[in-house]
Amino acid sequence: MDISIDFMRRIAHAAAAETLPRFRSQGAVANKEQASFDPVTEADRETERVIRALISAEYPDHGILGEEHGSENISSRHVWVIDPIDGTRAFISGLPVWGTLVGLTVDGDAVAGMMSQPFTGELFYANASGAHYEGPGGPRRLTTRKTTSLADATLFTTTPALFKGDARLRYDLFEKQVQLARYGTDCYAFAMVAAGCVDIVADPGLKPYDIVALIP
């Protein structure tokens, strides 16, 4: 099924109404993990709540999987996957490299998705018509770079510290082969791959709500 850009814009606008007033506001931060720091904010929870409400009203038979509020009706052929704020650490640090991720799967395949960064006024989305950008500079179709050599490539990762043991050794060897490596941009780095600014993103341990919206 095709998802209209108008519906994606509605989701992006509703999410922005929750995230932007709380961005750089020094709001309370809770920790979801005891053994490490996995922050969650009121903005995460409220943003997911309004997105779920929009989806349920528009597509009442569809399932939803969200990072903050769990799953419902995920036996449906159509399941929406939500990360209300991908990059919560960046969000609470005042860095505008977080984004709202919403994707749709049909029979397990990602068929539509969006990444909205309301502080910079950018919307990246893909549906049956292709991959598109709306924001500064005007709307355009997204195309990736034509880089063919690692020696010419730009690589992003959230942090090399996420790679453990042998995986860290392999990552370090890989990084040494690229032209430029940068850290810390979460979902925004994936959007930059789609925009033709970055060649590779390497992040381990991604969950469905981290990546489904970015696949189409």
Kindly report, residue by residue over 10-33, the tens digit of the pLDDT.
999 999 999 999 999 977 576 655
Give the list of residues 6+ apart from residue 35 with CB closer than 8 angstroms, or none.
none
- Report yes or no: 193 and 144 within 8 Å, Cβ to Cβ: yes
Burial class of residue 208 (count of CB atoms within 10 Å of its CB; 0-12, 13-18, 19+):
middle
pLDDT tens, residue by residue, 90-135: 999 999 999 999 999 999 999 999 999 999 999 999 999 999 999 9
Give the percent of the chain with pLDDT over 70: 95
- Report yes or no: 123 and 133 within 8 Å, Cβ to Cβ: yes
| Domains of the chain, earliest start first | 5-142 (3.30.540.10), 150-201 (3.40.190.80)
Residue 26 pLDDT = 79
> Poorest-confidence range of 30-34, 137-141, 148-152?
30-34
Residue 2 pLDDT = 82
Reported confidence tier of residue 172, pLDDT bands at 50, 70, 90: very high
Between 187 and 28, residue with greater pLDDT: 187
DSSP 142-172: --------GGG-EEEES-GGGS-THHHHHHH
Q: What is the mean pLDDT of residues 145-157?
A: 98
Can you read off the two tokens belonging to residue 120? 């910079």
Reported confidence tier of residue 36, pLDDT bands at 50, 70, 90: low
Residue 208 pLDDT = 97
- Report yes or no: 82 and 48 within 8 Å, Cβ to Cβ: yes
Stated pTM of the model: 0.93
CA distance 73 to 37: 30
Residue 31 pLDDT = 63
Residue 37 pLDDT = 59
Q: End-to-end distance of the chain based on CA atoms, in angstroms? A: 13
Flag whether pLDDT at 82 surpasses 80: yes
